Amino acid sequence: MGLSTATHRADSHLIIALDEKFDFATVHDFKEAYTDIPSEVKVIEVDLSNTEYMDSSALGMLLNMQKNLSGREIEFRISHCRPQVARILKISRFDKKFIIS
């Protein structure tokens, strides 16, 4: 499987952790991870600590997640980026749309 999910802090913090590749093969699983989340979720964190490769479809998936949940008050975070992934996110100006750490 390309990702796993976990809910923390009284169900208000959803973490989506991805494997080595965040690409088109992950589309279905990624969308499923944030579809029908409880209303208690106020933070969605995409954990990229294991991700070594991401392509443009991964960037699109992140934007689609944000767009699909735009009617809710949710903070979007991308965490534990490796240098090569952080560089892609910075070049793509994702630091303007997400909290990146």
CA distance between the termini of the chain: 24
Query: In the predicted model, what is the mean pLDDT of residues 29-50?
Result: 94
Asked whether residue 3 carries a pLDDT value surpassing 80, the answer given is no
CATH of the domain at 39: 3.30.750.24
State how many domains the chain has.
1
- Token digits for 60? 């699109």
Query: Residue 49 and residue 19: Cα distance in Å, rounded?
Result: 8
Q: Which domain holds residue 55?
A: 3-100
Asked whether residue 9 carries a pLDDT value surpassing 70, the answer given is no
Query: In the predicted model, what is the mean pLDDT of residues 59-64?
Result: 97
* pTM of the shown model: 0.90
